[in-house]
A and B are shown apart, each in its own frame.
Chain A
Amino acid sequence: MKKQRTLSFLFVALLALVVFAACNTNNNDNAAVDVPDAGTSAQDNQAQTNDIGEGALDTVQFLNLALGEEPRSIDASLTSEAVGGTILTNIREPLTRIIPLYPESGYMFEPAGARSWESNADGTVWTFHLNNNYWEDGVPVTAHDYVFSMRRTVAPETGAPLSFMLAPLLHFDEVNAGELPLESLGVRAIDDMTLEISLTSPVPFFMNLTTDRVMMPQREDIIALHGERYGSGGEFTIANGPFRIESWNQQSSIVLVRNEHYWDSDNVRLDTVTFHIMTDATTRHHAFEAGEIDIVAVTTRQWRDHFYGMSGVIPTVGVPTQTITYAFFNTDDELFQNENIRRAFMIAIDRVELNEVAFDGFRIPTYGWIVPSISVGEYNFREHAGDPIRELQANHPDPRELLIQGMQELGLGDDPSTLNVTFNLAGTDEWFRTLGEYLQQIYSVNLGVNMQINFAEWGIFFDNVQNGNFQIGFMGWGAFFNEPFDVLNIFMSETNAVHTGWANAEFDELINRAMVELDEWERLQLYIQAERILIYDEAAVMPLATTTLNSFRRDFVRGVRPSTFGDAVLKYHYTSGRP
């Protein structure tokens, strides 16, 4: 059982790659089945309360943190997981950094690699004026480093797993397919300090990309020097961010030290940050209690209650992530082709009770597809869009009637107990057993359906899903960035990334319009209509809960900024009063 946990990965902050199959195992909330547990710990480095308070700084500034997995690589073109992103965001300077507006909702972009930026009138050409930043060897960071980096990520021979993140760039498709030369890609250096990015069409949320690893600069000469080994170890990379890598002992620890050449080095207070690579959640908890690490993420009620009782410890709990836990229907299935049957299954679950029984009370019951942490500019989506599932529940107090209505439309009679329904779960451990038994019981009581549960390992589950060999599946999906488009476009008929087989022309039309609508309020309305079709009218997918970040830190750790889509950067952290 331990193995599965370590296998799951968690998404951490910021634009790190995400998507989890939503299954959290006990020690690993937010985790995904398939990729394991990095999550928990990768989050360890970002607690979320806002206490940029004052206090006498300790003379020696250091932090000990846990990293839940060995990073696969810190080559910005080749990593795709959260832990690699955690290291990259601390050693590289993206064009901008995203910071949450706390306590208000929403986010803003602050200057980082770029000191200012502007776009043309229709938002297709963006110009970035770079800061006077330097690599750790003293070489200036230039616009050419950004151009080189993006071209390398898109080049077909690189095989970058996240290359598609750059899809908005002009000629991306042709360059990525090798049909046009790299120079055709929509990015160029006007001069050493000015970078220009051209897009195929306006992308309202383009700025979100500027914080991502795919837009971090890379040094051509360093890559040439290290060849294949580039990014595979501490000595095979180069930093231009707040920190540089002092040492990377594989599977043990990564030690970061302050980068004196960093443009904003005066505001970086930590001298040393040690990431201990710890794949076991219980070990992380023990190490936190023993004082060996300063921040720890928790994913079970038992550990949360335990740390609540400790003195000198500050909790940050219940911070919503951008990952939704959901079930999804195969709309090509002979039963679930009917929207009333899907709606019945969707509303038959009491999300508050589900959260208590199956998720340890650790998630946020969610009544729409867009999670509460996502906004359109300054408008929080959920606040403006209402709760479609709750509405549907209010309009249909007895879900069984909806089910029978759907059955009659299909000519299946009116006895739900005659239906053959199988619910697919991507895991076999106790966490999934509990969830499966609960679902079985709730559908029996509320719908009168005798449901089967199929437990499988992630690989087998995902294979079945991709081949349409399922009726209902259960997963998690994390947004890359703070824009509903990012999690709605996956339901467009041409994408079908959730494998529902669902297609709706009106939905496609709304998303296509939103994609180029620069006015935030108008865009919000389009998204709201689209989500309503997806959930209220058609129930192609069944949102259940939003995962949360829960962590505890020693009270001497200060300068921690709130973060959901925020950056896992340790630039502003410091300690005051470390014993």
Chain B
Amino acid sequence: MKLVVYILKRLGLMLISLFMIVTITFFLMRSIPGDPLSHMARSLPEQTRANFMARYGLDQPLFNQYLIYLRNLAQGDLGESLAFPGRSVTETIGRTSPVSAQGGGIALAIGLVIGTVLGIIAALFRNRLPDYIVMIIAILGVTVPVFVIAPLLQLVFAVRLGWLPTFGWGTPRHMVMPVMVMAFLPIATYARYMKSSMLDTLGQDYILTAQSKGVSETNVILKHALRNSLLPAITILSGSIVGIFTGAFVVESIFSIPGIGTHFVTSIHNNDYTMIMGTTVFFAVLFVVMQFVVDFIYVLVDPRIKLMHETH
């Protein structure tokens, strides 16, 4: 019963968050200079402009437009893109987000595993050669921009060696380079988190207790240290998952991947209001849901955490 109440409460809070995000985004977005015709970079005749605005209901008072948007949103209708006439925002998100999820998901999984392993290695070999190597990789991973790594890979694997296609999507061969590029950052991020978290855990009393009881070093690490060290990694996981969609713009652009990243960025430059709102709603829902899920994972991993405060 308590669990049901808790879930309902969380759902209510999520809805309030979403409402606030939608409202703030709607009015912020409309304060950006320009309009959906700005891309033409020319002063259009008044009548041409007026007809366009009327077609999309942009001639209405702003607050009315907001109410209309809320009403449509409540019915699950995200509207038609202003930059891409005839394309529904819902369909566009439905078509592009699985592509981003596929590439980004594989990259994140690889990054998570390799990063975690590297972080543990770095912690166990602290201040020795393996630690230095891992930390160099980690620093490179967060500092070298994607638009440097990606063309470099293209030059080597596509232009010089001819092993892989330069661009495109659809087959495993197309995925190799983008996944390598996208896995680089999570490897670096999780290696650093795991290292510090592991070091922290290894300094805890219960580890000393286990070691003094004669538990083998392997068991100490696997059974006692690892599970507790994963907590910080889980904390940033929800951000990483959302980042698959929001952060892939550059990689998707370089490798011509038909993902959602481009809409997230270009819709703002295009003043494509419905697409801006649509992607925002999509990411916001994804984010609050992920946080909800992560809170549950905490409970599974860390027995100290309870969903609700027990009243004593």
Contacts and interface: CB of A to CB of B under 8 A. Distances in A.
Interface string B76-104: 00001001111100000001100000000
A15 interface: no
B37 to A, nearest CB: 6
Interface string A155-176: 0111111111001000001001
A19 B86 contact: no
Contacts of A33: 41
Given A70-B262, A80-B40, 13 more contacts: A2-B147, A6-B266, A19-B40, A34-B41, A161-B52, A163-B51, A164-B44, A164-B48, A251-B257, A280-B253, A282-B151, A462-B41, A497-B42
B85 A73 contact: yes
A1 B45 CA distance: 33
Max count, chain B CB within 10 A of own CB: residue among A32, A81, A177, A283: A283
Nearest to A252: B258
B258 A251 contact: yes
B154 A283 contact: yes
21 contacts: A2-B254, A3-B269, A9-B39, A159-B56, A160-B48, A160-B51, A160-B52, A176-B48, A176-B51, A230-B86, A231-B85, A232-B86, A233-B87, A251-B256, A251-B258, A252-B258, A286-B154, A292-B165, A292-B167, A459-B32, A496-B43
A530 interface: no
Contacts of B243: none
B55 A159 contact: yes
A485 interface: no
Contacts of B168: 252, 276
Max count, chain B CB within 10 A of own CB: residue among A231, A232, A475: A232
A466 B43 contact: yes
Given A32-B41, A252-B168, A278-B167, A72 B84 contact: yes
A104 interface: no
Nearest to B263: A251
Contacts of A164: 44-45, 47-48
Interface in B229-268: 249-250, 253-259, 262, 265-266
Interface stretch (B61-69, B115-123, B155-163, B220-228): B155-163
B41 A251 contact: no
A488 interface: no
B51 A72 contact: no
Interface string A444-467: 000000000000001110110010
B256 A279 contact: yes
Nearest to A80: B40
Given A72-B85, A292-B165, A459 B34 contact: yes
Contacts of A231: 85-86
A20 B40 CA distance: 8
Contact of B39 (A34, A228, A230): A34
Contact of B166 (A70, A230, A292, A463): A292
Contacts of A19: 40-42
A7 interface: yes
Interface of B: 32-34, 37-45, 47-48, 51-56, 80, 83-87, 95-96, 147, 151, 154-155, 158-159, 162, 165-170, 249-250, 253-259, 262, 265-266, 269, 271
Nearest to A35: B39
A475 B151 CA distance: 30
A270 interface: no
Contacts of B37: 161
Nearest to A33: B41
A167 B43 CA distance: 15
A159 B51 contact: yes
A249 B258 contact: yes
Contacts of B80: 228
A290 interface: yes
B147 A158 contact: no
B97 to A, nearest CB: 12
A462 B169 contact: no
Interface residues of A, number: 69
Residues of A contacting B: mostly:
loop
A283 B43 contact: no
A446 to B, nearest CB: 30
B92 to A, nearest CB: 8
Given A35-B39, A250-B258, A252-B256, A236 B159 contact: no
Contacts of B253: 2, 6, 279-280
B255 A462 contact: no
A32 B259 CA distance: 25
Max count, chain A CB within 10 A of own CB: residue among B33, B37, B169, B250: B33
A21 B167 contact: no
A282 B250 CA distance: 12
Max count, chain A CB within 10 A of own CB: residue among B155, B162, B168: B168
A338 to B, nearest CB: 25
Contact of B51 (A75, A157, A233, A292): A157
A463 B56 contact: no
Contacts of A6: 253, 262, 266
A161 B158 contact: no
Interface string A478-514: 0000000000000000001101000000000000000
Contacts of B53: 159
A157 to B, nearest CB: 7
Contact of A232 (B84, B155, B249): B84
A334 to B, nearest CB: 24
B78 to A, nearest CB: 14
Contact of A290 (B33, B44, B158): B158
Contacts of A459: 32-34, 38, 269, 271
A442 B10 CA distance: 62
Contacts of B48: 160-164, 176
Given A19-B41, A163-B51, A286-B166, A228 B86 contact: yes
Nearest to A165: B48
A277 interface: yes
B162 A290 contact: yes
Interface in A1-56: 1-3, 6-7, 9, 17, 19-21, 32-36
Given A34-B38, A278-B167, A459-B38, A3 B55 contact: no
Nearest to A236: B86
B34 A462 contact: yes
A276 B258 CA distance: 11
A283 B86 contact: no
A158 B47 CA distance: 12
A78 interface: yes
Contacts of B40: 17, 19, 35, 80, 161
4 smallest beta-carbon distances between A and B, as pairs: A232-B86, A159-B55, A251-B258, A459-B34
Nearest to A81: B39
A109 B62 CA distance: 47
Max count, chain A CB within 10 A of own CB: residue among B42, B84, B147, B151: B42
Contacts of A108: none
A538 B53 CA distance: 36
A251 B262 contact: yes
A477 to B, nearest CB: 8
Nearest to B146: A2
Contacts of A236: 86
A289 interface: yes
A229 interface: yes
B102 to A, nearest CB: 14
